[in-house]
């Protein structure tokens, strides 16, 4: 079975079933020795530190998750 065929079948699952599928696939990868969180380079760590500092300095600059989610769902359900 191809990845495309699996994805096509997965699209027929409920959201809860998709989440369970993801959890099981990830657990299988971890059990096989795959590390789900790769090590970050020093450059990436520095960039993340900069972005955290910027977010801490400007807490009102972000968009709440609920707003982003609603907008995204609104676009995909048209």
Which residue is it, tokens 């795959």? Answer: 34
Residue 15, pLDDT above cutoff 80? yes
Dump pLDDT digits (tens) for 18-52.
Answer: 999 999 998 898 889 887 677 889 999 999 999 99
Which residue is it, tokens 């769902």? Answer: 73
CA atoms of 69 and 49, how far apart (whole Å):
25
DSSP annotation string for 22-63 = HHHHHHHHHHTT--SSPPPPHHHHHHHHHHHHHHHH-GGGS-
pTM for the full predicted model: 0.45
Which residue is it, tokens 């048209």? Answer: 78
Where in the chain are the domains? 1-38, 39-78
CA atoms of 51 and 44, how far apart (whole Å):
11
Average confidence score pLDDT of the chain: 90
Higher pLDDT, 62 or 36: 62
């Amino acid at each position: 079975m191809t990845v495309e065929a699996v994805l096509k079948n997965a699209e027929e699952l409920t959201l809860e079933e998709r989440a369970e599928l993801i959890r099981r696939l990830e657990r299988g990868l971890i059990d096989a020795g795959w590390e789900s969180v790769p090590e970050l380079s020093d450059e990436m760590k520095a960039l993340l530190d900069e972005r955290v500092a910027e977010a801490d300095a400007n807490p009102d600059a972000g968009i709440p998750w609920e707003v982003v989610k609603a907008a995204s769902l609104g676009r995909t359900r048209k």
